[in-house]
Structure 1
Amino acid sequence: MGDLIIPPPGEPLDIKGSNNKPSSRMVLLKKYDPNGFAFYTNYTSRKGRELSENPNAAMLFYWPAVSRQVRIEGIVQKLSQEDADEYWVSRPLGSRIGSKSSHQSTEIPHRSVLEDETRRLEELAKKEGPDAITRPECWGGFILRPKYFEFWQGQPSRLHDRIVYEQTPEATVWKKKRLSP
């Protein structure tokens, strides 16, 4: 059967903000199910603001060892506060402190601002327990609800296989087609 191919640890997320310029970054996929692909972030970060302005997004999963990739396009929606709370408490304390210490994507005068806030929150957690590090209101999840999948299998001949599944506008059927490489 061969070696197990581990999924990549992070996936690029491609979006456009209100300025219509493309923007990419790596996100960590935390959950996937028939509804879509979930990741968590700060809603006031550049990524969060751009997704609020334009919910169209794409993700890419790439496995170089087997020359395969899956591209997903769809609409991003915020997850519920309950989902955000549930995931927040499952995170290691250090990750919660890091997320709460950072006002992601905002300018700071120097690194010590982050380090001081991190120390303050570490002391709070020692004094009052880890539950004292509560989820900021500006932190939560998004789910990419797929409308388009492209499965790509590389070939040495460069005649790659490309199979697309695209949801019809009525969102009732997935249409399959093969694309030329």
Structure 2
Amino acid sequence: MLFTSSSSEKEILSIISKQLLLGSTDARHPFRFVNLCTLDGNQPDSRYVVLREFKEDLALFFYTDSRSEKVAQINKNPNAALLFYHPIERCQVKIGGKAQIITNTELIKEHWNNVQTEAKKGYQSVLAPKTAVSQPEEGWVQELKYQSKNFSIIKVRAKQIECLQLDDEGHLRIGFNKKQEVWQSTWLVP
């Protein structure tokens, strides 16, 4: 368990922050892969992404192809939701916030330089993600110059957090809302 009914709200937020930091640095941590949900018009559109960086102000960072649908969706409507689950600790963390596409070229360059060569191939496709092709191999055609022109960073700044701790003796749920840069919490019925 990550938290109990005797944990303070401040402790719980600190525990969750620590788990998110571990998810961004440890490839084997359950919070490494997260479900990111954006809006396609009025329809939810979710997919797994990799948590690449976590900041103490509860900003979370992910990489994507700049031509992907999620980039267009975020540019139209920045509302986003993230869903994490820790199967060993039996804890679900749901984060709501505003997503933005990072445009700072220095920051993009810094992150790009940290991407391993093999992973850079994921951003080198000649065709945009989800382009229809007649044969699967057509999607593998790459510009092997390892340029960052299709590389984007998504930043989600948390505004709401909801944690559900599963426990055989009674599940626990707590919600956090950020109001004027201060986190307020409320215990909720699980």
TM-score clears 0.5? yes
Cα root mean square deviation, aligned: 2.0
Equivalent position of 2:46 in the other structure: 24
Query: Are 1:45 and 2:54 an aligned pair?
Result: no
Equivalent position of 1:145 in the other structure: 157
Query: Are 1:172 and 2:181 an aligned pair?
Result: yes
For 2:136 and 2:181, how far apart are their aligned partners in 1? Answer: 50
Tell whether the 8 Å contact from 2:37 to 2:45 is kept in structure 1 after alignment.
yes
Equivalent positions of 1:78-93 (< 5 A) are 78-79=101-102, 80-93=104-117
Structure 1 counterpart of 2:133, from 108, 121, 124? 108
The unaligned stretches of length 5 or more in structure 1 are 122-131
Which entry has the higher C-alpha Rg, 1 or 2? 1
For 1:24 and 1:46, how far apart are their aligned partners in 2? Answer: 11
Give the secondary structure class of the aligned counterpart of 1:65: coil
The unaligned stretches of length 5 or more in structure 2 are 1-21, 23-27
Q: Give the TM-score normalised by structure 2.
A: 0.77
Q: Percent identity?
A: 29
Equivalent position of 2:18 in the other structure: none
- The count of residues paired between Structure 1 and Structure 2 equals 161
Equivalent position of 1:154 in the other structure: 166
Tell whether the 8 Å contact from 1:81 to 1:140 is kept in structure 2 after alignment.
no
Query: Are 1:56 and 2:79 an aligned pair?
Result: yes
Tell whether the 8 Å contact from 1:75 to 1:144 is kept in structure 2 after alignment.
yes
For 2:134 and 2:112, how far apart are their aligned partners in 1? Answer: 28
For 1:90 and 1:6, how far apart are their aligned partners in 2? Answer: 19
Offset at 1:66? 1.6
Tell whether the 8 Å contact from 1:45 to 1:106 is kept in structure 2 after alignment.
no
Once the two structures are superposed, residues 25-52 of structure 1 have per-residue CA deviations (whole angstroms, 9 ceiling, x without a partner) of 0000000002400001122211111111
Give the secondary structure class of the aligned counterpart of 1:62: strand
Tell whether the 8 Å contact from 1:55 to 1:76 is kept in structure 2 after alignment.
yes
Query: After the TM superposition, which segments of 4 or more aligned residues of structure 1 sit over 6 Å from their partners?
Result: none
